Chains A and B, each alone.
Chain A
Amino acid sequence: MKKTIIVLLVALLAGSFAFAQGAGEAAASTGPMTITMLYSATQTEAGSLPDDWAGYAVLRDKLGIDLQLDMLPSNPNDQDLAIRTRAAADELPDFFTCSREVWADLAKNGQVLDVTDYYDDMPNRCAVMFDQAARNFVTYEGRIYGFATPSAIAGNEGLLVRKDWLDNLGLAAPTTLDELFDVLYAFTYNDPDGNGKNDTYGYGAFVEETVSYEIYPGRRFEPLMGAFGVEGTWDMGADSFGLQIHKDAYYDWMVFFKKCIDAGVIDPNWQSYKKDDFRAAWKQGKFGCFREQNSAYASENNYSPFDANFPNGGFIVVDAPIGPNGDQSVGPLCQGMRVYAISSDVSAEKAAKIVEMFDWMSYGEGYMLCGYGEEGKNYILDADGLPQSDASLGDLGYNQAGGQRYIQLRNCAFNYSNAQEIALRYPGYITKVSQKYMSAGDVLLEMQKKTWTATPGQNSMPAPESTDVTTFYQQGIAEFLNGKRALTPENWKAFVEQFDKIGGLAWEQQGYDFASANGLLQ
């Protein structure tokens, strides 16, 4: 029994030590100014920025800042919860990233700083990021309460078609909707991979939707919807504004969609696939046509399973098919935004330091440290003075697994539109098995050249106030597609009328008011 007591006491002692460990507030000093920052990391699962990241020393020595970093969790809902809880406890960090919804509440509550006058102190960042749309994104009652920076490259997806399958079947790349249907049909029934089995489909997808922007059936079907001019949730035209479902052409799209499903040319798992399943499926040669993101398709790590499975296989990026009325679109195009805000509790002196640091991150030394890590450790400069990662850097190269921790602040640095930045992010490489040249950067540029529907700000449009509206919308369309409800003009009209009654019209009005107030109508 003495042993038990000793074990318990030792455990408690260990517990008391644990209280002492961790992150107590640094003692006040006359040294560098401490800035706490909660940020959205490039890859949360890679781990935190290492203590030996050279940027800490540069910030301390040159800018007089002791930067205390913490990562937000990867899940957006968890991020919101973490920020909201700290806001409720009045313990917001000095500088943080948050969703626009959370930011809007904080701005209403007066918990984030009015930074309108600080924009002039960031000449470098303003030159590459803060256009009027970005400022509108974080404007509340005429004043700016944050910084909206690009969160991803716009137009980085495209319609891919298996080139080897087209060649095997003697088909040309489709340009119209009818041609596309014929290709999908041949991919499904004419054994495009020549394995003697009926194990392929024409089109592959999964449900990837954002209600306020790319509603059900979602993003992966937009190249087909674009042929009817009904891609995205909204028509953002000043004269034609409204929910796409209210257009007559939406019924035509549904007829085509149902025809594809009935013909069996769409992988029937599209309603149950998750993103991983979808991506595993095209890498396994399940279907030959789909919409995909440039890097998810062509980056070395992502392409290698397909390369190993099909060394003689390959894809081409085609433009979205042209529909019966000449409509064509890969999907709605608008720039995603990430919001940074300063707590209203910080002093004017500290706010100025934060702004100085934020500008430093967007150019020169700060940009390189945040975006590519440390020279000689995570990158080397080539003859043109551009950062490169080569074998001499081993696993710590900025595009290798071990290097990912050193570029966790990349989101604070990148502007996601600069051609040089894109070229550096997506260097070309030779595939391991088929020994062919691939470049996600080249693919991106090709995808961006295709036909998109420019709708700036559509991704900030409101969702319906009640989720019943969304559920009714999704279930109704699914029932038509699954054959539970006959797709006839009368039934469709009755469905849309019912949708309007339960809140569809109110949502449309809400959207119109928002778009008008924020200058989003085109």
Chain B
Amino acid sequence: MAKKKNISVAVRPTAADHGFNIMVTTFMVLLLIILIVPIWSTIALSFRPANYIGSYLEGMFLAPWKWSTAAYRSLLGNQGFLNSFGNSLKILVMGVATALFLTVPMAYALSVKGVPGKKWITIFVMIPYVFDVGVVPTYLLISKLGLVNHLPSVFMPVALSTYNMIIMRQFFEGIPNDLRESAFIDGCNDVQIMFKIILPLSKAIILTIALYYGVSFWNDYMRSLLYLQKSALKPLPLLLRDILIGTSMNDNLEASAFGSAPIEAIKAASVFISAIPMMIAYPFIQKYFTKGTLAGSVKG
């Protein structure tokens, strides 16, 4: 039987290929515009001066030398804003550390073959994922635990996310078991295997899950509203809502807490500032992100 020749041929793109590429490029450019417009709109609005005359659309193309930084100066000079920013940072750092401390060991333990009761533990973890007990019972639990008016009340109830734990477990299951067995032979126990073998190979998933947790803690509103009753503990999302709602309600008052800066600019600036930490974090984690989000999607 004649053997087929393995020939590598450079294929010249057809007109259809060109057309397809143009369509894809056009679609991606449109998508980019759709994503950029609201961001740019917020930025441009945050720099809009008090005496601006023109439509909203025209305002997006206002020359930078006509911008005003009054809104940012007002916000950054406001003690309440700085305090809330600090509270949000504390929640973010403590929350992510606690969440990883709980999620990583559990995901690893459930990824190891032969762990006794593994099935039942998994079911136990799945129950709160499927059934939400509601606001009042959760509030009662948090209250009885003495967590009301403490920052951990924002992240402790969700510090172990079933969804994130399962993604991480799937990733760990994808790591060849031979590595674990070799470490055993070399004298490692389970804890040493997790720290010395598994975690160094799992930077992508750990950073991705940390990002998931970080975004959810940074943006959390409802738990903060319910459990942080002290004004001094108010995190940024609560203050942000106060600014967005309150400034509209209070523009009939004789004085503004933000001086003479335009209300619309204050709102936009507060939205933009609150998004900055996540905007900074994303590029650093981006290189791990794709790999991490694909974890567990393909087995074998």
Interface residue ranges, A against B (CB under 8 Å)? 1, 4-5, 7-8, 11-12, 14-15, 18-19, 21-24, 38, 42-48, 69-71, 73-75, 78, 81-82, 85-86, 88-89, 91, 156, 274-277, 279-280, 284-285, 293-296, 299-302, 304-305, 308-309, 398-401, 403-405, 425-426, 440
Contacts and interface: CB of A to CB of B under 8 A. Distances in A.
Interface string B244-282: 011111111111111110111001000000000000000
B215 interface: no
A21 B245 contact: no
A86 B226 CA distance: 8
B257 A46 contact: yes
B53 interface: yes
- Classify the secondary structure of A's interface with B: helix
A330 B289 CA distance: 59
A89 B135 CA distance: 10
Interface string B80-117: 10010000001001100110110000000000000000
Interface string B180-222: 0000000000000001100110000000000000000000000
Given A15-B98, A75-B241, A305-B50, A85 B135 contact: yes
A308 B53 CA distance: 10
Contacts of A24: 146, 149
A241 B158 CA distance: 54
Nearest to A36: B229
14 contacts: A5-B195, A11-B94, A15-B152, A22-B149, A22-B233, A47-B83, A81-B225, A299-B254, A302-B251, A302-B252, A304-B50, A305-B51, A403-B255, A440-B254
A45 B231 CA distance: 11
A150 B232 CA distance: 28
**Residue among B136, B229, B231, B252 with max Cβ neighbours from chain A (10 Å):** B252
Nearest to A20: B150
Given A1-B195, A85-B226, A89-B140, 18 more contacts: A12-B98, A15-B152, A19-B152, A42-B253, A43-B257, A46-B80, A48-B80, A82-B226, A86-B139, A88-B136, A88-B139, A299-B252, A299-B253, A301-B254, A304-B50, A304-B260, A308-B50, A401-B255
A345 to B, nearest CB: 15
Contacts of B263: 276
B135 A401 contact: no
A389 to B, nearest CB: 9
A296 B97 contact: no
A15 B53 contact: no
Interface string B45-80: 000001111101000000000000000001000111
B15 to A, nearest CB: 45
Given A8-B101, A11-B93, A46-B257, A71 B53 contact: no
B253 to A, nearest CB: 6
B199 A1 contact: yes
The 8 closest A-B CB pairs, nearest first, are A47-B80, A11-B97, A48-B231, A46-B257, A74-B246, A308-B51, A23-B149, A45-B246
Contacts of A14: 93-94, 97
Interface residues of B, number: 65
A280 B58 CA distance: 14
Interface of B: 50-54, 56, 74, 78-80, 83, 90, 93-94, 97-98, 100-101, 135-136, 139-140, 143, 146-147, 149-152, 195-196, 199-200, 225-226, 229-233, 238-239, 241-243, 245-260, 262-264, 267
A426 B252 CA distance: 11
Contacts of B56: 277
Given A45-B243, A399-B254, A440-B254, A71 B97 contact: no
Contacts of B74: 401
Contact of A47 (B51, B52, B256, B257): B257
Nearest to B266: A45
Nearest to A276: B264
**Residue among B51, B143, B195, B248 with max Cβ neighbours from chain A (10 Å):** B51
A80 to B, nearest CB: 11
Contacts of A15: 94, 97-98, 152
A18 B90 contact: yes
Contacts of A47: 78-80, 83, 231, 257
A285 B254 CA distance: 22
